[in-house]
Amino acid sequence: MPATGRYAFKEGVILSYIDKAATGQAAAGPAQARGAEASELLDRVIASLEEDKAEDIAVMDIRGRSAMADYMVVCSGRSARQVTSIAEKLADRLKLRFHFTPRMEGRESGDWVLIDAGDVIVHVFRPEVREFYQLEKMWQGGGSEAPAGSSAGG
Domains of the chain: 6-140 (3.30.460.10)
Cα–Cα distance measured from residue 46 to residue 153, given in angstroms and rounded to the nearest whole number: 12
Which of 55, 75, 46, 63 minimizes the C-alpha distance to 9? 63
pLDDT tens string for the chain (154 positions)? 334 445 555 455 554 444 444 433 333 332 233 455 888 999 999 999 999 999 999 999 998 888 889 999 999 999 999 999 999 999 999 999 998 899 999 999 999 999 999 999 999 999 999 999 998 888 775 333 333 444 444 3
Q: Give the distance between the most distant pair of CA atoms in the chain.
A: 46
Half-sphere exposure of 102 (CA within 13 A, CB side): 28
pTM value is 0.70
**CB 136: neighbour CB atoms within 10 A?**
22
